[in-house]
Homo-oligomer: A and B are copies of this chain.
């Protein structure tokens, strides 16, 4: 039984484990005030093409989202997100638990656009409604889609005109930055957003996300917030060490690219068999639409998630690949699929 259920089913890339072994008995200062974190931050600053950004390493994605948002907002301020956004559907109300409402925009493909944000802002301009102050995006999105540079520029422009912060959740940023459809770089993100994060958990780390704070208004006292929300890891160098490894010799990109290539083989397999997809992706997630019967047959040998069930009984099922997916596994799957079909 092989699992395509997600991109965090295995441990860490061997180079990361090796770095941990090699440094295991080093004595490091706690709480992220160590040399590994400092070097990792330096590598990320270089990749972003600027020195004036803060980098914080945080164990998990939900933590990173709630921290970034709660740091940025005053009590009366709200977040704008796609209805399908991770913070809206998959984090058990973590943002609301910090006191903030999420205003949602319906989205078929997981993305939101400047015009929709603009409309929603105009609808919330009275003191008996919350005050929209931050736009939340993910790239790639929950549906595996991704933003173009132009879309991001339009959102960024709108946010700046309207004094909103733009925050990009990059849990799957490696897959976004390294696929064939992408025209965005880390430099672009540092130029166009106020803060964003570079996901490690879903790209070869044991755990860890790197939050990049660009907007100077959001920098001060961030470490107090880290500690208050329980997100300041005692052995913080473990986070730095992992990102140091990921951003040495391009490993971060290499792993994203591998995941994308493996998904590409699956995608081609489904296309060859004539299946359509719930969303049009170039990343490490695909959502083919299959009959319930085929889904059942596939589930005998493979693990995957069901994204949606249609009225006619057909299903959109989700396959996710990762840095750890062997080419043999995807080729075997395609053969199996072709036999089933």
In the complex, A277 Cα to B93 Cα: how many Å? Answer: 37
Interface segment out of the listed A149-157, A232-240, A256-264, A287-295: A232-240
A residues contacting the other copy or chain, number (CB 8 A): 74
Q: Are B97 and A93 in touch, CB under 8 angstroms? A: no
CB interface residues, A 114-170, toward B, < 8 Å: 127-131
B residues within 8 A CB of A311?
Answer: none
Total identical chains: 4
Docked CA distance A74–B65 (Å): 17
A17→B24 contact, CB < 8 A: yes
One digit per residue, 1 when the CB lies within 8 angstroms of any chain B CB and 0 when it does not, for chain A 46-75 equals: 000000000000011111111100110011
List the B side residues contacting A78 at CB < 8 Å: 93
Interface residues of A in 240-264 (CB under 8 A from B): none
Q: Write the nearest CB–CB distance from A70 to chain B, whole angstroms.
A: 6
Interface string of A305-334 (1 = CB under 8 A from B): 000000000000000000010000000000
Across the two chains, which residue of chain B brings its CB closest to A16? B24
B100 touches A96 (CB 8 A): yes
Query: Given A62-B230, A64-B230, A92-B129, 8 more contacts at CB 8 Å?
Result: A8-B235, A11-B235, A59-B59, A71-B75, A89-B129, A91-B227, A93-B129, A201-B234
